[in-house]
Amino acid sequence: MAERPLQIFVDADACPVKDEVYRVAQRYGLKTWVVANSFMMVPTSPLIERVIVDAGPDVADDWIAERVQPGDIVVTNDIPLADRALKAGGAALAPNGRPFTHDSIGSALAQRAIMEQIRSTGEITGGPRPFDRNDRSRFLQALDEAVVRSRRKPR
């Protein structure tokens, strides 16, 4: 039976590293799904497919989670989606290059729940630090490493 090629799924609505994903995907010849709930431009390429889903909570996440398979890579800042990708046998990367792993996802989910609770009380917690060039560079390196790792694993 032929091995299914590795694919990349991008949770695209607020993703700051789409161009970096396109570059890595092109270099390795990987099918890339850019999933959003509104229209966005993507490069013209048979390897890149734009998917526009209905607006609503978790619609894009559900679309991705239903399709990710072992060896695939999901690019997202959404911790519950990263958890679903890992459970499906895929890899998950944040746009700052931080990989979500089976060892780290539990504490990430717990931290997210704590922060939601704090915010629900009206406490101002600030936001993430601004995305910068170092984050972009870390992401490129992490995505390249994730592709190499996934290609080595049997699927």
Residue in 98, 108, 99 with CA at minimum distance from that of residue 135: 98
Mean pLDDT, the chain, rounded, equals 87
The token pair at 42 is: 């993507």
Task: Give yes or no for residue 82 having a pLDDT over 50.
Answer: yes
Mean pLDDT of 125-153: 86
Structural domains of the chain ordered from first start: 7-152 (3.40.50)
- Comparing 8 with 150, the larger pLDDT belongs to 8
**Letter for the amino acid at 1?**
M
Residue 108 has pLDDT above 70, yes or no: no
Q: Is residue 9 a contact partner of residue 33, using CB atoms and an 8 Å limit? A: yes
pLDDT at 54 over 90: yes
Local confidence band at 1 (pLDDT 50, 70, 90 cut-offs): very low
For the record, the structure tokens of 107 come out as 């504490």
- Residue 81: phi and psi, rounded to 5, are -65, -40
DSSP lists the bridge partners of residue 52 as: 36
Residue 54 to residues 1, 7, 63: CA-CA distances in angstroms?
A: 35, 22, 10
Sequence-ordered list of residues with C-beta below 8 angstroms from that of 112, at least 6 positions apart, any chain: 79, 80
